[in-house]
Amino acid sequence: MSKEAALMNRIESLNDFVIRFANVNGTGSASANNLFAKAIFRMGIPVSPKNIFPSNIQGLPTWYEVRVNEKGYIGRRGGIDIVVCVNPQSMAKDIEDVEPGGYFLYDNTKALDLRMMRRDIHFIGIPLTEICRQEYTDPRQRQLFKNVIYVGALAALLNIEFEVLTNLIADQFEGKEKLIAPNVHALELGFNYARENFQCPIGIRIERRNNVGDAILIDGNTACGLGAIYGGATVAAWYPITPSTSVVDAFETYAKRLRVCPASGKQKFAIVQAEDELAAIGMVIGANWNGARSFTATSGPGISLMNEFLGLAYFAEIPAVLIDVQRTGPSTGMPTRTQQSDVFECAYASHGDTKHVLLFPSTPKECFDMTASAFDLTERLQTPIILLTDLDLGMNDTMSEPLQWDDARAYDRGKVFTAEQLEAMSERFGRYLDIDDDGICYRTYPGTHPTKGSFFTRGTSRDEYAVYTEDGAAYARNMDRLLKKWETAKSYVPAPEIINAEHGSNIGMIYFGTTRAAALEAIDHLHEDAIAIDTLRLKAFPFNREVEEFIAQHDTIFVVEQNRDGQMRSILINECEINPTKLVAVLNYDGMPITARYIHGKVADYLQSANVTPLRRQAGQKAERKS
Amino acid sequence: MSKEAALMNRIESLNDFVIRFANVNGTGSASANNLFAKAIFRMGIPVSPKNIFPSNIQGLPTWYEVRVNEKGYIGRRGGIDIVVCVNPQSMAKDIEDVEPGGYFLYDNTKALDLRMMRRDIHFIGIPLTEICRQEYTDPRQRQLFKNVIYVGALAALLNIEFEVLTNLIADQFEGKEKLIAPNVHALELGFNYARENFQCPIGIRIERRNNVGDAILIDGNTACGLGAIYGGATVAAWYPITPSTSVVDAFETYAKRLRVCPASGKQKFAIVQAEDELAAIGMVIGANWNGARSFTATSGPGISLMNEFLGLAYFAEIPAVLIDVQRTGPSTGMPTRTQQSDVFECAYASHGDTKHVLLFPSTPKECFDMTASAFDLTERLQTPIILLTDLDLGMNDTMSEPLQWDDARAYDRGKVFTAEQLEAMSERFGRYLDIDDDGICYRTYPGTHPTKGSFFTRGTSRDEYAVYTEDGAAYARNMDRLLKKWETAKSYVPAPEIINAEHGSNIGMIYFGTTRAAALEAIDHLHEDAIAIDTLRLKAFPFNREVEEFIAQHDTIFVVEQNRDGQMRSILINECEINPTKLVAVLNYDGMPITARYIHGKVADYLQSANVTPLRRQAGQKAERKS
Amino acid sequence: MTYLRPNFRHPDLPTNDLGYTKKNYEGSLSTLCAGCGHDSISAAIVQACFELSVEPHKVAKMSGIGCSSKTPTYFLGNSHGFNSVHGRMPSVVTGANMANRDMIYIGVSGDGDTASIGMGQFVHAVRRSLNMTYIVENNGCYGLTKGQDSATADVGSKSKKGDANPFEAIDLVAMALQLGASFVARSFSGDKEQLVPLLKAAISHPGFAFIDVISPCVTFNNNPGSTKSYEFVRDHLEATGTVDFVPMRKEITTSYSAGTSQEVTLHDGSVIHLHKIDEKLDIHNRRSALDLIQEYKEGGKILTGLLYMDKEPTDLHETVGTVHKPLRSLHEKELCPGNNVLQNINASFR
Amino acid sequence: MTYLRPNFRHPDLPTNDLGYTKKNYEGSLSTLCAGCGHDSISAAIVQACFELSVEPHKVAKMSGIGCSSKTPTYFLGNSHGFNSVHGRMPSVVTGANMANRDMIYIGVSGDGDTASIGMGQFVHAVRRSLNMTYIVENNGCYGLTKGQDSATADVGSKSKKGDANPFEAIDLVAMALQLGASFVARSFSGDKEQLVPLLKAAISHPGFAFIDVISPCVTFNNNPGSTKSYEFVRDHLEATGTVDFVPMRKEITTSYSAGTSQEVTLHDGSVIHLHKIDEKLDIHNRRSALDLIQEYKEGGKILTGLLYMDKEPTDLHETVGTVHKPLRSLHEKELCPGNNVLQNINASFR
Ligand SMILES: Cc1ncc(C[n+]2csc(CCOP(=O)(O)OP(=O)(O)O)c2C)c(N)n1
Ligand SMILES: Cc1ncc(C[n+]2csc(CCOP(=O)(O)OP(=O)(O)O)c2C)c(N)n1
Ligand code: SF4
Ligand code: SF4
Ligand SMILES: [Mg+2]
Ligand SMILES: [Mg+2]
């Protein structure tokens, strides 16, 4: 490091920093960058890598941002301490983005344009291209290993245990051993160059900890795919769309591993790549109607196209599981950026009076659990279940509790009359008779019984016996029963996660999905500012009583979400009949995952300007920590 | 009439009753029933005929309900005083439906089933079939004239001026004179039979009045079609669906009459029957993008299918006029029944953060005016305009002020740079530059200038110069500008119609569209009960300041709408940030047009149970009658 | 388990191999117009299923939206039915079929339902060679929405044949052939002798079987050249601008033998020329079938009968490679890998 | 009015009849993968428009969604462009065309955009004989979503030819021919000599002109039989489960003369056999064209060139009977009947 640099102040930190890799997409950087993140993870330090990639295949800037935080804050923090830049296109901006005192690692094979120089950050030049030119002949290998080399260099600069890296390589190339040596060699090239040319470590260091426990590092889409396997899905119909594609990819990968009949080699599942999303949801509805557990995964544009079918499924009461991995809308919007902006569209999808059950996972484990239980839920409620995740959770490796399955658990297929029950039945079968007075009626699978239990499913109005009718009273009865079913649903969906401040507070915060990590971190920071806030994380729509109580118990409630129009806030107001003045919107909608700093700032500013000083509840005044 | 009947009490009324015709569809009754309604209309008495038809083509029961009311109440009243039943299938129910003391006219060629007998209503048997059998040989004519005959009979029974009927026949068959005589003859057959066999008139009578002024009797869809002609629409793309089909039919009829170049015989319009609704809206967007005024008409299922394209038009800022003639949803629902249940779906159509401008016509005149001005509005705002009407208004002949067009009026094509302006321009053209700081930017038509003003329209994020971008800040700037445009829209859309009680009241009622007639009648009845209520009729979304003020000025506000979920109420709460407790939902959703009796009942009951006694405002306290 | 045969059976009625009477295959009363070709097709389906001795409840009746799509209510009352949304029947059947390969899927659609809004799904159902019988009740118009032209040829309207059809008509049979359907036929609603055997063959075919059935709409044959007696009424309706008069009609039936042509006069007096295919055609050769229908078309004739059949079609289940047991019947044990496996998966993410 | 020619023109660059240089027809920098066939097609479009001397701003560039649908940004920078939604380009062009019949409409789509989600709109655009040039940049996969198979034949993958293609591939050329397209051609992205003239002919054609251009996706040719040097990398990617490595490639070009066949080796070493049509084919006979492509297909060859052309197609505007002046240019006076007429209309409703 240059003397001058040594003089100026530099960021000093142990196991707590944000590093960003600036690459060109299509250059094979992803695997190298993963290597880096995983190594730190294996050193027992929480990490949260986020891919910031363009909507094209090759040649445009792509970033990989990794937050390292031994305290376990895995939301986005904001700000960048180290940039590793191997992309000339974005270099100027990448240099700007470094925090003062931060570090900028770049390929100095070509000298740096002096106009980009900053005196308040530390430049670390490594001749990556040159090294590769000397080491490799095949241009592809030159490009590919360039990435591995800078990871090696970082190992030296940040004190990453080299062995951890070599082990990772070994695991990664298991079965392709011939690839191990060259990769390790590339790591060494970088490692040694850094050792020889810089004073290592730099101000930012890694030191082994034991802070990840038995956590796993997995993306939400893979967890959803696994949830579908464990939830007993047999028919998947889909149409490719970023960022949901990897849900069905994962389902296929694991199904081929876990769902193939060893004897016949035949599949205990069927995946149909549909011609579009209308067909995909149609297939899902057809399969569920016929008694199979079936799902699809899509994103915003697909949801819009599925509107008509969703209305049919709601009205004809057909189960269906739909995973919406949200991206930045409206329209094609920013297909490779994240957002929580399909909430409204999904909650009330299709014309006429409709309401749909939504689930909001926050972690990969919840992606798994909620996907699996969505199949029970949809069959119990006989209405579509929409799982709302987003690009951030769906496509980024996220630290998560390990996945668990209770082998004692049995699928709940809901109210379905068997052949025996039909045979025993003396009265006439009525598909839409509300026998149990919970709004949920008994269905039959096609082909169950030769002469009993058959009925006609339709999107038109029908009476309790599924007979077509244009009688207004019969129509209204049916619509009212659907509302009753909606009430029943409130007790079936997962309850919210409520975390009250130590002694409780009169100020609350409501959030859901990927806002969780950043929100909890912000709450801690606010706490340091002596601002106590109770929090409620929504896990599902419709909202159950606990949500209404939480809102009733607080004077001011921040509703934090990642969309422009405060969609969840509106739904809370509508469905719980809340006075809007109580709910303060905190909105982030630039397509990047919301940061703790942003939430902290918004809340602090509001409380200051409104000079609200949060009261602590007296002890006893139900302040117990709920979860 | 039988002695016994003469003894019991019977409904006596002059120019104020409800009559219902019970027919089999496909038997040609519509024209005869129209004849009846029109005759009364021509006698200067307000009428409101409503068709209650099945979703099939032939052989099912169909009803035609006509309310005759010289006071001018043309909403549905509820209850039936006279039934004319020529449909054995529905006879039992039709008899039940007659109000005590009412009248039941039927074909007694076949004797009445005694079990259906009621002692509290008056049976009037006419051997329609028999008469036809004697008069006509062709079975088709027998069936067709049966209808004309009962109209003749009613003329005698109710004192309809026979000459009015014969004139109507003459007008109707102008150019097909040979048909006049047979029709008049059929009328006479019925007229004479009634005269000879019953004491005419019965208790219910018609007497000429002068209460319709220069009003016309026209259906809303025809008025919309005419509005499109006058509004300068040149491209119509559509897909058939009840109850919207007749909008484009009317547009075509009049366009062929008024928009054909006399010289070449060529059309100054193009109508494309699309392959589905996705294509229809796509064509409309393409045509508007290219500078033509273009529209489509559809109903619920079509709206669901248009979701994706509506999001594109919102985000890419392309004009489009869409007429949604609402029917009973969800899904296929009751395709031939009415409802106001697409409000939510239309207001927030498509994934992501979207809001759409809606117009709510209440009368045929408004269908005409709002359709015509929708083309100005959509080009000024560069966003889709959705006109929300419904089956009741769209397909039923409705009394309306005559249509007017101000020849001085000029189309407002919105902000479009001409070739000259572009030529004169020194700076770079920016399609999405908010030059006027109102959120609305300048567009150019394709092909305007060889080297200036071209831009790329897309559903993806772009900067002020329409260049593709994934920059979060640029994306957010654009989304914020769209909100600014939304604010601007509030001052462009039609203001609500506010009618305050004489001295004003602390109780208000908000309604829209076809609820108008019934609501105003209910208000009068409530007034008779000494309950004063101010009313506001919404004409558009977004809501402008007057709406917020009205809500602020009243303590309790009834929101009357024809859907299950109180969709408009929710939107009012969301958009105006209203405390929900203030807004009391009055909902009718059985597919039949809401009645004055229903509204009256709901409001009275609520006020009683909540024992709210409406305060009159002190004079001066802004109580002036707004409209 | 086995069940008692339906006990309401009349001893005197003829029964099939399963002991069912035709009644067991009937549906509820039709609400279509008297004389509608669609009703004749429903009757033929009942007849075919009865003769084939299929178990009524093992059939799933699927449709979109339209008069034609309403018909599943009017046959096979003991079968589950699904009247989905307009133009989307194929996708619903695809899902249903994937869920349970052991049932018979009869899809009923209209020319609007298939050739307009449903075109995409139709094409891809063919492409996947779904094991189903796909019937288009083709009347060349949108019946339920009151008679707009559809994208298929104006079937049975001679007067139209003269003046240039504004748009190229879509021949679904030709499309099905070209897209690789393994069973392709065309028939006429009124020709029971031809239609019933074709339906039996289609239902028995272990792949995608397509039948285009010309099925006149008695109500909306909006063509000028028309019989005297009807003119009066039409004038009347035109004048009053109402289209709510539907004269009672009889269904049109025809019967002619293979290799011969037949003129059929429709309700409005117009005539269509049907030619029943003879054994000469090699029904195992797509291209010759395509050529032949084109040839007859140019001669103003509609070729009817079985036009192409591939004896060993590949069903989508083979392509996908699913187990023989219906997927919907797989039990939890067969589907859920259990927690141990999951723990190993966890390990792979550390 | 007339305008000054763009002044940034270089005096030395060759100009066309309108005095434009090729620069005036270029677009912004492509963001597609190096060597993507689509870029070659963009270049051919630029060349064709330059040679045809079309006024750049009189062209409208329309597309759906996909790598192919992105390309309109990369050519004709002085034309308005519309990158609509996935599979719906045909409807948007239909509307645009109805609004202004005096412009040239070039629609660019992909095989996914057209043969899957867009199938219905494609079929009906053909049926309406819309006056436009419809280009499918056919790579047999979904490029932008990372290489899933599309519904068209797995273009250019020899190794695939052996093993039974799981699904009947859709041949858009055959469909266009059968549905009555008035201009149908097929070419290869790298064959400028054939593609440019075809584009010029298509753009000049006063009806629906369809060109299916085989356009290899250099990135997602997921087939095993592959060159050594690439294997190493693929293993690497498989192992790491990441697909973000795209080796730099050169565009594949070819050049061969009419009547001859040509082997073209693709990036992954696989080979396609193109046969350039010779004058023998009667390009005014649909059926012979259909037969011929089928014949070559059976011989494992892809027939390229102009396959069918109808010299006098009917444009949708003729069918609809619109005035010659573009509808969008009609003035209020020409459109609004005025209040007197309206009062007469009122009278008819009393
Ligand atoms: C999405 C949607 N669009 C339009 C309609 C209205 N609609 C009902 S049936 C029908 C056409 C029916 O034509 P076809 O399929 O030929 O059946 P047919 O009545 O002629 O037997 C239409 C357009 C609808 N139900 N749904
Ligand atoms: C409604 C909708 N569904 C899915 C997608 C995702 N998507 C974008 S491009 C594409 C396929 C592109 O394939 P193709 O048309 O062949 O173009 P290519 O990239 O191969 O050139 C898909 C499925 C989308 N944008 N919109
Ligand atoms: S309208 Fe036509 S298709 Fe529909 S039922 Fe009547 S005859 Fe049949
Ligand atoms: S992914 Fe394939 S189609 Fe897309 S740009 Fe790259 S090479 Fe071209
Ligand atoms: Mg039809
Ligand atoms: Mg492609």
The encoded tokens of residue D229 equal: 């040097």
Please report, as a single letter, which amino acid is at residue C85.
V
D70 Cβ inside 6 Å of ligand 4? no
How high is the pLDDT of residue D218? 85
Q: Distance between CA atoms of A5 and A212, rounded to whole angstroms?
A: 35
Q: Distance between CA atoms of B553 and B536, rounded to whole angstroms?
A: 12
Confidence label for B1 from pLDDT (cuts 50, 70 and 90): very low
Residue D12 has a CB neighbour count (10 Å cut-off) of 6
Q: Distance between CA atoms of A369 and A350, rounded to whole angstroms?
A: 27
Q: Distance between CA atoms of A194 and A158, rounded to whole angstroms?
A: 10
The encoded tokens of residue C18 equal: 């399963």
Confidence label for A280 from pLDDT (cuts 50, 70 and 90): very high
How high is the pLDDT of residue D274? 78
- Segments of chain C with pLDDT less than 50: 1-7, 155-164, 222, 224-234, 237
The residues facing B66 across adjacent strands are B19, B49
How high is the pLDDT of residue B161? 97
pLDDT digits (tens, 9 = 90+) for A202-215: 999 999 999 999 99
Q: Distance between CA atoms of D174 and A336, rounded to whole angstroms?
A: 36
pLDDT digits (tens, 9 = 90+) for A36-48: 999 999 999 999 9
B300 Cβ inside 6 Å of ligand 1? no
Residue D5 has a CB neighbour count (10 Å cut-off) of 15
Whether the upstream peptide bond of residue B201 has omega within 30° of 0, thus cis, is yes
Residue D344 has a CB neighbour count (10 Å cut-off) of 10
For ligand 1, pick from B57, B241, B245, B296 the residue to mutate: most ligand atoms within 8 Å of CB: B241
Q: Distance between CA atoms of C281 and B350, rounded to whole angstroms?
A: 52
Nearest to C178 among D120, D128, D174 (CB): D174
User: Which residues, 6+ apart, have CB-to-CB distance to B77 below 8 Å?
Assistant: B18, B67, B69, B521, B595, B596, B597
pLDDT digits (tens, 9 = 90+) for B265-291: 999 999 999 999 999 999 999 999 999
Name the closest ligand to CA D221.
4
Cβ atoms A330, B352 nearer than 8 A: yes
How high is the pLDDT of residue C245? 60
How high is the pLDDT of residue D265? 73
For the CA of D246, the nearest atom of ligand 4: 6
State the Cα torsion A267-A268-A273-A279 to the nearest 10°. 150
How high is the pLDDT of residue D228? 29
pLDDT digits (tens, 9 = 90+) for B534-575: 999 999 999 999 999 999 999 999 999 999 999 999 999 999
DSSP states of A214-240 as a string? T-EEEEHHHHHHHHHHHTT--EEEE--
Q: What are phi and psi of A87, to 5 degrees?
A: -130, 100
Nearest to B232 among D97, D98, D332 (CB): D332
How high is the pLDDT of residue D166? 74
In C, which residues are within 8 Å of D179 by CB distance? 168, 170
| Mean per-residue pLDDT, A436-460 | 97
Residue A9 has a CB neighbour count (10 Å cut-off) of 9
How high is the pLDDT of residue D260? 78
Confidence label for B578 from pLDDT (cuts 50, 70 and 90): very high
Query: How many pairs of residues across B and D have Cβ atoms under 8 Å apart?
Result: 233
Residue B231's SS3 state is coil
The residues facing D88 across adjacent strands are none
DSSP states of C142-188 as a string? ETTTT-EE-SB--TT-HHHHHSPPSSPPB-HHHHHHHTT-SEEEEEE
Tell me the nearest-neighbour CA distance from C235 into chain B, angstroms: 8
pLDDT digits (tens, 9 = 90+) for A110-157: 999 888 999 999 999 999 999 999 999 988 889 889 999 999 999 999
How high is the pLDDT of residue D172? 97
The encoded tokens of residue B501 equal: 């009680």
Q: What are phi and psi of A109, to 5 degrees?
A: -55, -45
Any chain C CB within 8 A of the CB of B90?
no
Question: Which of D196, D185, D190 shows the shortest CA–CA distance to D40?
Answer: D190
The encoded tokens of residue B196 equal: 């000879």
Chains that touch A (3 or more CB pairs under 8 A): B, C, D
Any chain B CB within 8 A of the CB of D83?
yes
Nearest to B30 among C117, C151, C242 (CB): C242
User: How far, in Å, is the centroid of ligand 5 from the Cα of C247?
Assistant: 19
For the CA of D220, the nearest atom of ligand 4: 2
Long-range contacts of B198-202 (CB under 8 A, 24+ apart): B198/B1, B198/B124, B198/B156, B198/B157, B199/B1, B200/B156, B200/B157, B200/B159, B201/B156, B201/B157, B201/B158, B201/B159, B202/B1, B202/B10, B202/B103, B202/B122, B202/B124, B202/B157, B202/B158
Q: Which residue has the tokens 């001026």?
A: B161
Using CA atoms, how far residue A473 sits from A172, A476, B592, D283, in Å, is 65, 5, 10, 64
For ligand 1, pick from B56, B58, B239 the residue to mutate: most ligand atoms within 8 Å of CB: B239
- b/e burial code for range C296-330 (CB count within 10 A of at least 16 → b): beeeebbbbbbbbbbeebbbbbbbbebbebbbbeb
pLDDT of A496 strictly over 50 = yes
Residue B311's SS3 state is helix
Mutate to test the interface with D, among C165, C167, C310 (most CBs of D within 10 A): C167
Q: What are phi and psi of B531, to 5 degrees?
A: -110, 115
The residues facing A587 across adjacent strands are A561
In D, which residues are within 8 Å of C120 by CB distance? 116-120
The residues facing B238 across adjacent strands are B273
Q: Distance between CA atoms of B183 and B186, rounded to whole angstroms?
A: 5
Using CA atoms, how far residue A22 sits from A63, A95, B471, D204, in Å, is 5, 10, 15, 47
E-state strands within B86-121: 98-107
Cβ atoms A435, A428 nearer than 8 A: no
- Segments of chain D with pLDDT less than 70: 1-11, 153-165, 221-249, 266-270, 279-280
Share of chain B above pLDDT 90, in %: 90
Cβ atoms C36, C55 nearer than 8 A: no
Question: Which of A78, A83, A95 shows the shortest CA–CA distance to A19?
Answer: A83
pTM reported for the whole predicted model: 0.95
Question: Which of B388, B371, B401 shows the shortest CA–CA distance to B46?
Answer: B401
Q: Where does residue A114 rank: exposed (0-12), middle (13-18), buried (19+ CB within 10 A)?
A: exposed
Cβ atoms D154, D165 nearer than 8 A: yes
CA A580 from centroid of its chain's CA atoms = 28
Please report, as a single letter, which amino acid is at residue A123.
F
Q: Distance between CA atoms of A377 and A320, rounded to whole angstroms?
A: 10
Q: What angle do CA C134, C135, C136 make, to 5 degrees?
A: 120
Q: Distance between CA atoms of B445 and B287, rounded to whole angstroms?
A: 11
Residue D110's SS3 state is strand
- Indicate the helix (H) or strand (E) that contains B257: helix B245-258
User: Which residues, 6+ apart, have CB-to-CB distance to D347 below 8 Å?
Assistant: none
The encoded tokens of residue C202 equal: 């289609």
Tell how strand A98-107 and strand A80-85 pair up.
parallel
pLDDT digits (tens, 9 = 90+) for A364-395: 999 999 999 999 999 999 999 999 999 999 99
